[in-house]
Structure 1
């Protein structure tokens, strides 16, 4: 009885879901609704990413309250409080728990991830990049959920990492799941995945433009972009940011700074020196990060327990330097305010690299974006202080804070190969656009000087190197040829007269290699077509049928192409009209000339593929 009720309830839910799916498929096939449907998809992805960012941030606060505030008695600085901790009076710090709590968080995180979704380990943005390039944009529905829980435990217990990876996976995962549910083609599923990345980043950093740009830029290590996804990413990022800011985080920038302006070109020289230094520090970060990853891969224990070891190592560092725990925006706020000494800036920057590597490269779950901003900001502030100490009349006291901000963007531009989104990110995170010229310079230097290695190992060099676009480059040679160029005598299929009998039509198909034949009038124009399946059905079931060709021909959506069209247009029509054969017509009167088949075009594509592989 209970099973019947359960099946009945499932059926009740399934019917409206199927109706929604049918409606959306009709919706996507209507060319007049093309832009509307993408707006709708962007809205859906943005809503889920925005709500996901709220839930994720709330979970981090919950676990931070349990592990750090309640058990350890530790309160980190908060940027919205201008670097103050907001700790209650007479709080007791239980220092020895710093050694244990991050390891406990790593254990819980490892058990969650490796039991239910092993692909959620590490930093989530890299997993989304890998799904785009190598998995046709497919992400399992459970991955964002497990990533959210595991990362919130990791960060709440004091692990060193960022929030962007899990939120990017929430948005990307929903985009992928929605596209799969609606049966959208793989290229469109990839677009929705990219939009999800942009939405997640735009929400959690309160940077909608930078988030959208990051989604299309982070896929490649060269200056290449997934430009076809940008508009959808912008829509979803705006929605996600609006929901996250309005209902939860507010619209103030994450880091509160004065309105800085660029007025002294002499400082560019010192910013350039810092850019070169940050490029080399960034390469050390990337090499150390993946060196630690290789070290943990060699440890012969179950991967479930490796994040616990990473957490223990983080705990040892945190015992002496608690500034490296968690995300760390509060320390960034203090650096901007000039309240951290030179030695402490260097210490936080250096040990943030080490702690982040131990947290994530051991298999722990968190993002690498925020730690990179913290590292860059700390070293940027250190360079600002050093330059001020050496040349106090050139680099003023007021110039130190801009070095922090420019260090944030420049460092991440080099380690992640995202110079444009890093530029926008710092501007939106701080609400300050007055430092764009020096920020552009430093980003360009770190991007070029830092070499080819990236913190995102799944990036491809460019679109040509990506499996997602390998076929695009095979399409290019097709633009050089028209239908007329590849027509041969074997492409001519005998037309059928409107008055042809069933016997005559059977004779035509019996002597043909085509599955469709045109019905033409006295002037040679196609007035309809007949399928082999139709004739076969009549021959088997109604062999005495006296109807002629004009009575059984199909007249709607005749699959035809002009003889002057290039082959890339032919390929597009094959898929749009869902056919393997197209009637070739010529002139203004569209007289019938031949039939072009997929296999005719495949010969040209295969030749192009051989040339592509050899090059």
Structure 2
């Protein structure tokens, strides 16, 4: 763990620099294309630009991304999160070196030419690629590579938004698929370094500073439930649109290299209608969160941004999801602010932002903390929790998978993001082991041993693995039925066929330890030895016994019972059950 944390420190620094480079590159391309000047400042792309440029620039940018994807690496297509998850779960946390270069470049081209995307998805994949590349040069396990890959990914996000805690939560909710010190500590180390290095590069303050006091009342907390439901519906619409668009593009009779250019045409048309919908849109998000955005622009952003982001993302172009989700969610909240009671500047936009993030990405804790870290609104923790969790719950009920996991599922892989205690971890070997078993004496003739087993009946024959004891007592090893048959053919004793170095376990071990031991040693049955003397067999454990933990888990999930009953005293002192204990599956 400590060694991984030490390795994660330089990865955090590299990810912070990569985030700074990407933002500067986006600004450079945006200024060159739309303002015809050399500058790295982030500016709104379509404002004050000629109509033909607004229409054509996203098409050219999409074509460039398509060419890079076809002749560079197809892994740069999309918003980066599913590709990172796929590399972790299916690719041994190995990322190609070219992805570390092509992903930020393609994203900068896509966003810089007007694409309605964010920089966070590409920087997550770029940071992850940097961590993976370092890990691949070292002699590490796949789990250790995963820790460094996620460390780079989370560090990139922390450096982009000055959100160390949200980045750490995003790693835990979306990328690590575990909650263990061996992975969380290195990720935290990288995130901390990236955030510290961000300060001189990108600034130390909140990305979107929301000022003004909040006048929260109980009715506002109740309305956050309504806001969460509306956020979930918007998340559902956006997710369905993304994959409906992807299905439509796949039916086109042209190579996928051309799809981002066609998506760019949709972006250009949207930019002609609402120019503010193009680009990263930090200025629009800031206006939403400060309450300085007009109603007309709110409606335009809500409709046009949702459409062009969803439809163009389905074309396979390169760009992130967080900034668009911020803008769309903020627009929904800003629209709600015209109906709901006033609470404070940009409050309902902030609630909508957290809600849509929780619904689209199915990461409610990240949504809650992200919203607070972006704006400094820590006093809004309760309403943000209500909205984000409501959106998350409704999204789970209405949609099978999120915008992140649907793409992986479409590639034929099942992905579960539900965390639960491993039932094998809470059941001990001693609780389920077989204590009714047959032992064989080492000095016994193999032919006689087989005959004795046949006489004992079916259970003895089915045992298949038999502990062997020495003539003077004590555990000598194990013998299989196949070994006995071979020894009997040669006229040997049981001792000649005995494996004297078998894999053993103890009654105090968990079923998880037993299962891992079986997997590593490639055995299906193990003798259980007494831990104190180590010479006596107290039981056998085989694969069927491992299901005991699973059966308990299923029983607890499915069987209902009423442990408590209420007894009333009748007219003559008799007792009657108002409710009887019962159980049902």
State the TM bucket, normalised to the shorter chain: 0.7 to 0.9
- RMSD (CA atoms): 4.4
- Displacement of 1:380 after TM fit? 0.8
Contact (CA 8 Å) 2:87, 2:93: kept in 1 or not?
A: yes
Return closer, same or farther for 1:99/1:564 CA change in 2, 3 Å cut-off.
closer
Contact (CA 8 Å) 1:130, 1:459: kept in 2 or not?
A: no
2:267 to 304, 307, 314: 314
- 1:218 equivalenced with 2:174 (yes/no): yes
2:325 to 360, 372, 381: 372
What are the superposed Cα offsets for residues 107-148 of structure 1, whole Å, 9 maximum, x if unpaired?
111111122211221110121123333434343332232211
Contact (CA 8 Å) 2:5, 2:189: kept in 1 or not?
A: yes
Counterpart in the other structure of 1:4: none
Counterpart in the other structure of 1:239: 193
Return closer, same or farther for 1:343/1:574 CA change in 2, 3 Å cut-off.
same
**Which aligned pairs between 1:222-371 and structure 2 lie closer than 5 A?**
226-228=178-180, 229-243=183-197, 245-371=198-324
Return closer, same or farther for 1:336/1:472 CA change in 2, 3 Å cut-off.
closer
Counterpart in the other structure of 1:549: none
Structure 1 unaligned residues grouped into runs of 5+ = 1-34, 79-84, 388-394, 495-512, 530-556
- Displacement of 1:357 after TM fit? 2.0
The TM-score, its normalising length taken from structure 2, stands at 0.74
What are the superposed Cα offsets for residues 397-426 of structure 1, whole Å, 9 maximum, x if unpaired?
x63511111111111111111111100001
2:312 and 2:39 map into 1 onto residues whose CA distance is 22
Structure 2 unaligned residues grouped into runs of 5+ = 444-463, 478-500, 559-585
SS of 1:289's partner is helix
The TM-score, its normalising length taken from structure 1, stands at 0.70
Counterpart in the other structure of 1:56: 22
SS of 1:353's partner is helix
Counterpart in the other structure of 2:402: 454
2:35 and 2:138 map into 1 onto residues whose CA distance is 45
Counterpart in the other structure of 1:565: 509
Return closer, same or farther for 1:493/1:386 CA change in 2, 3 Å cut-off.
farther
2:161 to 182, 189, 205: 205
- Displacement of 1:328 after TM fit? 0.4
- 1:420 equivalenced with 2:351 (yes/no): no
Counterpart in the other structure of 2:388: 443
Counterpart in the other structure of 1:14: none
**Which of the pair is proportionally richer in helix?**
1
1:346 and 1:58 map into 2 onto residues whose CA distance is 30
Return closer, same or farther for 1:263/1:574 CA change in 2, 3 Å cut-off.
same
- Displacement of 1:365 after TM fit? 0.3
SS of 1:137's partner is coil
Return closer, same or farther for 1:575/1:234 CA change in 2, 3 Å cut-off.
farther
Contact (CA 8 Å) 1:199, 1:211: kept in 2 or not?
A: yes
Return closer, same or farther for 1:409/1:469 CA change in 2, 3 Å cut-off.
closer
What are the superposed Cα offsets for residues 500-559 of structure 1, whole Å, 9 maximum, x if unpaired?
xxxxxxxxxxxxx99xx99x9x99799xx9xxxxxxxxxxxxxxxxxxxxxxxxxxx998
- Displacement of 1:337 after TM fit? 3.3
1:167 to 116, 119, 123: 123
- Displacement of 1:446 after TM fit? 1.4
Return closer, same or farther for 1:441/1:491 CA change in 2, 3 Å cut-off.
farther
- 1:182 equivalenced with 2:125 (yes/no): no
SS of 1:386's partner is coil
Contact (CA 8 Å) 2:424, 2:546: kept in 1 or not?
A: yes
Contact (CA 8 Å) 2:424, 2:550: kept in 1 or not?
A: no
- Displacement of 1:185 after TM fit? 3.3
1:42 and 1:337 map into 2 onto residues whose CA distance is 37
Return closer, same or farther for 1:76/1:589 CA change in 2, 3 Å cut-off.
closer
